[in-house]
Structure 1
Amino acid sequence: MRVVATPVGSWRTVGFLMLALLLVTVGDQARAAEAERIDPERVVRSVVGIRAVVPPDSQSSQTLGTERTGSGVVIDGSGLILTIGYTVMEASQITVTAADGRDFPATLSAYDPVSGFGLLRAGLGFQAPWLRLADSHQVKEGDTLLVVTGGEARGAAAVHVVGKREFAGYWEYLLDEALFTFPPIRAFNGAALVNGDGRLVGVGSLLVGEAVQGRGVPGNMFVPVSALEPILADLLAYGRRQEPPRPWLGVTLREETGRILVEKVSPRGPAETAGVRPGDWIVGVGGQGVGGLADFYRKLWSLGPAGTVVPLDVMRGEALTPVPVTSGDRVRFLRLTPTL
């Protein structure tokens, strides 16, 4: 199956294509009748394009660039837009493109490094229908869902859920359960993953080389919206979740056969300040061995909140070196309001 790249302005065609794809995957007549009641126009118009401009001296510009594009999903009647946070993180200018092609300024309302979600508010005059959130726990391997993208890549495509499992990212990130889909969608970041009821199941995060565990099958990773619901009230009220922030080291890591290699350290971050270097191997935390990224993160975060001293066991050549790192709060190292 392929992405249908439909030009802006012909979203009605995309909407009815979405409905057709849904009906093809539905077996019983009752379920098909329910699908016919879905308003495909509403689904398509709820997905917007996003363009973000990020100052070159920001932390994330070194890895994510200064000009970023993606999609977002309107999730309430006031113009609240859910996207993947790295698209808009540290942006000094954000523009939202509605389904009719009109552009609106937007502001970053919240960023959550734990889930990876970001929330935007579109500016005056923006109007769009919104999608309800689904119970993403109900998604099963083998389900057929729809990916809807906005902006210049506006379109829709059917995908299959090929995995539900934990995901550990190299940037000190861990999801207990992520959704993996096939075939791969190139315009993945912030894309809407929609179920047969026309509800939002997940938000696009990554293109991955191993969507099916243990096999080199490319696909996408989506963050389930179930990760948003417990924290949404906090994000709306405070711009971040109201619980002690996790200890952050400021390292980019790679897992190799269960071992953890430090590939990069964030400038002026906790790890660099403590003397951690690219090329170090992290083999333990406080004398406890680590078995891969997920195990390392769980041991790291179990030590306490941000500010906790993390006793890393680092291998340099043949020497085992203890390196105590005074951890930080990741959000405080980001310029989330760079225009101020």
Structure 2
Amino acid sequence: MTDQIVGHYAQRKSLRQLLASERLPHSMLFVGNAGIGKKLVALELAQMLFCEDNNRAEIGGCGECSKCKLFESGSIADLYQIDCLDKEAANVAQIRQLLQTVNLKAFHGGARVTVLDNAEHLSVQSSNILLKTLEEPRGDSYFILIVENPAKLPDTILSRCQRWFFSPLSNDQIRDVIDRKNLLPEGVSIQDVITLLDGSLQGVSSIVDKLDRFSNFKDRVNKILAGDKLNALEFAKELSSDRESLRESLHLMRMIVRERVLNETDPKNRRSAASLQAHLLELDALIFERNINAQYLLQSRLLNDL
């Protein structure tokens, strides 16, 4: 488990120290972008809670005791994992049944650990049921809620969890993973791959499929910044016609423009790119929350910087 994790050493070391000093909170909230390793850290912590080597100073379980072997084989009965994007697995009945089980004595003795991934997608009813257990957890029960956007969780849940923040992976960390696992296809720019991954390893296995789209978007954005008004109008029309992919398309454009802002040496061009970046940041809320016409907004914002 430990050798699968990239980065987050400070958080992992602190969790190890809290566990060793018996001050580990029973309810924790792991916050950060998707694909950066929050769940892996949660599972590493779970293994440390199960590990029978209580005097161990190193991060991770010993890997030798009976519980570590059960954990690594996927057979430990006191670990519960739910992806809250799965509405059937995270419905009211399932959450209620989970909490009833957690309140029983641990099957193997010792700790019970519950990992709720994408916890911000719990329904209000499920959150209310969970809240009762978070308010008065058993001494041997631990809950780790993994989220991208904690603002979507009820304040009552947030107030009962200690928050742990996880940063996006650095370019060097992503580059190291790509090199170590030989993930870079021949003829592909590693810088384009790093930009596209945007601090996350989510989707790295399917990166080749996304590179053509990324390359096309990069070309279109560069033409817009060069003053091509016709291209701006056509691109806005194309993007707005595919509503299902629009949010992802806007995110991709923001990554490309951000890279341009960081790498542009000409002050005038950098200002143009920064202005476009600011306009792209506001489009999500205007299109998806206020429901303003997407094509009109895109055309006005893209042309505004020419």
Query: The TM-score by the shorter chain falls in which range?
Result: under 0.3
More helix by share: 2
Structure having greater relative contact order (Cα 8 Å, sep ≥ 6): 2
TM-score, normalising length from structure 2? 0.27
TM-score, normalising length from structure 1? 0.25
Larger radius of gyration: 2
